[in-house]
Structure 1
């Protein structure tokens, strides 16, 4: 016991102080995990959105870890008051040399969690990136792309950019573009497209599907099939209509032309 109370050379602390500090870190880590888990479970019983719950849980976790570190430092016999003052001075210095971005990200994270322009599990496009919202942290937002790539975006770029939310609304309009050759019976082409959409089980009756002529292009008359579907059925309906309109037009002998250019060669007189 006496050996444990002797100061270690060059360190200025005793073995028992080091062991106490390690014990504080281990116990603090466990207590933090349990506290944050209990905090999240309590919040989930309320009507708070999951996004806000995750944000508050991460914020509480960061505060508790700082407290645990300060307790471990104090167990080493170092006065934490001087450390807090030193940290305050360092933080003040850092703030003058670029900490503004950190505070901006923190403030943006609070606004995102409070106003919820995006929410957990939604598919969004922000700052030129598209993916499912995986997490909104204190400093950054995580998007998961369809090919399982995790993208981390600073919160200030999320809050400071246009946000396109693809899944917030319960329904979406599915647009499928198709061109038909000049000389095609347009009434017949439109009727085939309408029948195709009206008979699709996932196309909604209200709003009713429509077909519009969008352009008289160089090589084709362009039509657009517009069908409404539940948001979760969007890609299934788009894929089906794209494939089925091609098959239906081929069956009825309606030509879907490809871009072409006629080149006329004129011989110069010799």
Structure 2
């Protein structure tokens, strides 16, 4: 048997030759490369059109999945496999799987499309959704990933996000810092409010409009509670809140304004004999 016969003779139990196998592998690799090139071109085009990253990422993922399926169906005939029969078999398998609970998969895919189209958040936004808080790291066909400030990645099924309230903390350019502080009963409230206002106005990143406010919010068990409200750029929110907390404590201490801690008065009386 010649070398040519070895490559062209069908392999036992497989029904195709080494030559067919090599051509199949080469065609498969070329097909995958073409799909990736098309996906990259599409991604660059969408980036030039300033398409939101979440939308472009989802579209590219879908194109890749469809492309890979088409490549596989296109190269299977090289091995002598009837793709029409394979397509029918694949349809039957999909139908069977759907009957056993693949509805969640389609629900996640549909929710991913709606999230990309309606865009309740963009990549890099800080959100709270489905009981989790974090920065949007990416959205895929099936799930969305959040990254917390301590660098933990959380993966949430898209259908859980679409069916839950979404709180987007960074969508607007400005955000209000709310700082609650209690002062002791008997404190001159006008003085405490003025000290708090002057302290807030000193901070260079607190906006003049809307103007800062200090209001009395509650007569609590151990304190009269004040709420300090100051507007700042969303990107400065965390730093401004930390600074104001420290500044209020220091300025209240200088002004002799007591910030009480919870306490309980216990009265002991003699029991009658």
Q: How far is 1:197 from its partner?
A: 1.1
Counterpart CA distance in 2 for 1:46 and 1:122 is: 21
Specify which of 113, 117, 122 is matched with residue 114 of structure 1: 117
Q: How far is 1:201 from its partner?
A: 0.5
Runs of 4+ in 1 over 3 A off after TM superposition: none
The residue aligned with 2:233 is 230
Counterpart CA distance in 2 for 1:44 and 1:117 is: 19
Counterpart CA distance in 2 for 1:102 and 1:70 is: 23
Counterpart CA distance in 1 for 2:120 and 2:92 is: 36
Q: How far is 1:75 from its partner?
A: 2.1
The residue aligned with 1:64 is 67
Range that drifts further, 25-34 or 213-222? 25-34
Counterpart CA distance in 2 for 1:239 and 1:181 is: 23
Q: How far is 1:120 from its partner?
A: 1.1
Q: Please show how residues 77-96 of structure 1 align to structure 2 within 5 Å.
A: 77-96=80-99
SS in 1 for 2:270: coil
Q: Deviations over 1:8-38 (max 9, x none)?
A: 1222221112112221222222222211111
1:104 maps onto 2:135 in alignment: no
The residue aligned with 1:129 is 132
TM-score by length of 2: 0.95
Counterpart CA distance in 1 for 2:83 and 2:148 is: 44
Specify which of 208, 218, 221 is matched with residue 205 of structure 1: 208
Preserved contact between residue 105 and residue 156 of structure 1 (Cα < 8 Å): yes
Query: How many residues end up aligned between the 2 structures?
Result: 270
Preserved contact between residue 24 and residue 71 of structure 1 (Cα < 8 Å): no
Counterpart CA distance in 1 for 2:271 and 2:201 is: 57
SS in 1 for 2:141: coil
Counterpart CA distance in 2 for 1:24 and 1:244 is: 68
Gaps of 5+ in 1: none
Once superposed, what is the RMSD of the aligned Cα atoms? 1.2
Counterpart CA distance in 2 for 1:130 and 1:70 is: 42
The residue aligned with 1:245 is 248
Q: Deviations over 1:70-112 (max 9, x none)?
A: 2332221101111111111111122222121111111111111
Counterpart CA distance in 2 for 1:66 and 1:251 is: 71
Q: Deviations over 1:159-199 (max 9, x none)?
A: 11000000001111000111111111111111111011111
1:27 maps onto 2:30 in alignment: yes
SS in 1 for 2:137: strand
Q: Deviations over 1:107-130 (max 9, x none)?
A: 111111111011111111110011
TM-score by length of 1: 0.96
Q: Deviations over 1:25-62 (max 9, x none)?
A: 22222222211111100111214222211111111011
Preserved contact between residue 184 and residue 254 of structure 1 (Cα < 8 Å): yes
The residue aligned with 1:46 is 49
Counterpart CA distance in 2 for 1:134 and 1:51 is: 9
